[in-house]
Structure 1
């Protein structure tokens, strides 16, 4: 999915957006003091506030920072025409979501799918696509500047890549995008990252542990 130029952009974005995480690894400190033992989530040394953003959810309501408060949230970028990475990832996340269904809705971890293909994916279409994997999945999109701002804030990038027939057919294109999953804490801050390959059982267990830790006295 990635071309060389996109790879360079991705490296630069990750270096800027997740520099603290990289430094933590270089120091050999993959565990954060007082955090529960996690299998697949890598936590930042300190959660990072996200700058203001404004996307549109599948039900037509705005997706602003306050909407993500109160729950641990997994954020994944993609698009509905994605042939492989997106459907595979959403299917894996749906497996984790099924394991959270017994948790109280008020604290249950959430999954947010953000389409980075606003030309072909309006909010309703993004929602229909995401809900086909699990009905609890949130979905949103926005115009390209808003999407770029949001993606950068969680250390991700995306780029439109014209296909061979793009000149004759403007719809012949793909979208290269980061394949990681961002982890937001209940305050809506960037708290960590999950890298592929994804392990649904481990993701489910890690988020349940993080949620239980927040509820502990």
Structure 2
């Protein structure tokens, strides 16, 4: 075979490969539209060590192999927390039967470790659903994880810098975050509500978006 023919064959193979690449790109499924803030690239979470309501360790490992809906709050919360947990309890059975390979867990992350002991968390979360989990830890761990999740909180009217005492509130995000089975932040469900209303995530939108996101990621 002459050098000229070798070059012609090589050019033909390169053209064929380029054509296949373009065809595959055209056939790739379009990313579905959802109302949630869906990250184009899931965000890895920093290593953390928290404690669960059962007094066991809760780390990144407990996020792996399952989808997680995580909500930030505290047991003395007068409105947003019990409302959101009641909403999640109401739709939980519907969400967990969606056709995904990984199961679903719901987690309350208490950002009030001064008052929310594991025993208190266990009693509180059991009221909404015995399958729900509650976690907490020192503020160093909580601040770092909350920032990685795009959430914020602040103790209000607490004269003690260490977060001790009883008579204070905690301002916190009302978002619900979705963590994928790789332990990465996948999406954020934003709360709704006007002035004078309790800001809460729409369960109708969450129920619509959850199977879309989990199915899309599972088919990648």
Normalising by structure 1, we get a TM-score of 0.74
2:116 alignment counterpart? 121
Q: Is the contact between residue 100 and residue 214 of structure 2 (CA under 8 Å) also seen in structure 1? A: no
1:205 alignment counterpart? 208
User: Per-residue displacement from partner, 1:66-101 (whole Å, max 9, x unpaired)?
Assistant: 110122211111000000011111111112212134
> Is the aligned partner of 1:35 residue 2:31?
yes
* Bigger Rg, which one: 2
Residue 102 of structure 1: how far off its partner (Å): 3.3
Moved more, 126-135 or 44-53: 126-135
Instruction: Quote the Cα distance in structure 1 between the aligned partners of 2:52 and 2:165.
Output: 26
Residue 103 of structure 1: how far off its partner (Å): 4.6
2:46 alignment counterpart? 51
Q: Is the contact between residue 100 and residue 215 of structure 2 (CA under 8 Å) also seen in structure 1? A: no
Q: Find the residue that maps to 2:169 and give its secondary structure.
A: strand
Distance 1:58 1:35, change over 3 A: farther
2:26 alignment counterpart? none
Aligned residues: 180
Instruction: Quote the Cα distance in structure 1 between the aligned partners of 2:44 and 2:219.
Output: 23
**Unpaired runs of at least 5, structure 1:** 1-32
2:167 alignment counterpart? 172
* Equivalence map 1:59-98=2 (5 Å): 59-98=54-93
**Unpaired runs of at least 5, structure 2:** 1-28, 193-200
Normalising by structure 2, we get a TM-score of 0.73
